A and B are shown apart, each in its own frame.
Chain A
């Protein structure tokens, strides 16, 4: 009993205590003063060290968040809950960070845009898009098979009548849908921006008209009417710069195809 259990246990225990006290002493002696918030942020993180945030691990992410390199919602694993906790720890600074949301730059649902052919392949946007640019007549628009819906971990995206839509109240700006979209029509915009040209077509106006009733035909009326010059016309497509936009709504009034429209979901989110 003594030599089979007690002495080996004493040896291992003794080694453990020896190293433990040694390390405790060294860590006290060579302590590095770190920002308390880094430690707190580190504690609310999932601790999987998965690297999905783009940092080398949870420790690195905690530091990056506190120093402002990463967003509070930069941890896709922790999601909304962790983002809120981190925002609480960092406090006022979190509010200063502009909240962003994903937005689908296409409104061409099945009621307004034409279908080129019936697609019966696998249920995947990228696969469908590789076949003659997808089943929709407009080769720039939403394919509508929901790759973005599947990658969204927060249930913020739905496909309604053939076009993806982001519920901006649920969006955490993790940008996974941006990467998943084969047409690259999902863009990140500040949540405060209400107006956007909801079209990605670089086709000439007459082709856009033929394919889709709500596309941007590149007429340039919005560019002229914008009081702050936030709109530029490039390759037959008007683009609103959300950083300059004052949400005055002049462009929506003149847009002949209603490609420019106000984001209603945003208004609801503010009220709620």
Chain B
């Protein structure tokens, strides 16, 4: 239990996917303009990441390395994981269209883009690298998703305030956003070494 707690806290704060590992920067910059869409996107990513971590963990354990020591198909992991993630995103898209049309519309192009969100694939691959079992993988995926959402929400709040400020012309738009992102990222480095 203690180990799970450490996994969840470290994936949210210490090893935050966006701010410490710099994965999933595209949606981080793309969807963080408004708090409401950021929350929706974050929810979708939490869902995809948790499920993807669980399913990929199973696929890896029982399919790719299930025939060890005779045969080892671990080299298929990237291919297989992308397939799993793409299928999950499609599934969520269908569900969202049916049950949450406003959110579906608000996310627009970013929902299919979760497919190629490297944070999701990163979580799946890191689970293998860290040799987590099914439960730990799922928890790690969930924590990563929560961390992503938190980064997105913090940043959406910051960007909404930036909008209201008088910024030099040359820095308007993406430049000031990237500077702000760098500052938030530096702040998160303060968590480094929290669990020795």
Contacts and interface: CB of A to CB of B under 8 A. Distances in A.
Interface of A: 3, 7-8, 11-12, 15-16, 19, 22-23, 26-27, 30-32, 49, 56-57, 59-60
Contacts of B125: none
B108 A19 contact: no
Interface of B is mostly: helix
B154 interface: no
A15 B71 contact: no
B105 A60 contact: yes
A70 to B, nearest CB: 14
Nearest to A2: B71
Given A7-B71, A57-B108, A60-B105, 19 more contacts: A3-B71, A8-B73, A8-B76, A11-B80, A12-B83, A15-B59, A15-B83, A19-B83, A19-B84, A19-B86, A23-B87, A23-B91, A23-B94, A27-B94, A32-B98, A32-B101, A49-B109, A59-B108, A60-B108
Interface in B61-82: 63-64, 71, 73, 76, 79-80
Nearest to B66: A11
A18 to B, nearest CB: 9
Interface in B21-74: 59, 63-64, 71, 73
Interface of A is mostly: helix
A22 B51 CA distance: 15
B15 to A, nearest CB: 29
A19 B76 CA distance: 17
Contacts, number: 51
Given A23-B90, A49-B109, A12 B97 contact: no
Interface in B87-140: 87, 90-91, 94-95, 97-98, 101, 105, 108-109
Contacts of B79: 12
Q: How large is the interface on B (under 10, 10 to 19, 20 to 34, 35 or more residues)?
A: 20 to 34
A19 B87 contact: yes
A173 B121 CA distance: 44
B87 A11 contact: no
A22 B64 CA distance: 21
B108 A11 contact: no
B94 A15 contact: no
Contacts of A23: 87, 90-91, 94
Contacts of A11: 63-64, 73, 76, 80
B77 to A, nearest CB: 11
A57 B112 CA distance: 12
Nearest to A4: B71
Nearest to A59: B108
A3 B90 CA distance: 31
A30 B94 contact: yes
Contacts of A19: 83-84, 86-87
Contact of A30 (B83, B87, B98, B108): B98
A60 B105 CA distance: 7
Contact of A7 (B73, B94, B95, B101): B73
A51 to B, nearest CB: 8
8 contacts: A11-B80, A19-B84, A19-B87, A23-B91, A30-B94, A31-B98, A56-B105, A57-B108
Given A11-B76, A11-B80, A19-B83, A26 B63 contact: no
B11 to A, nearest CB: 26
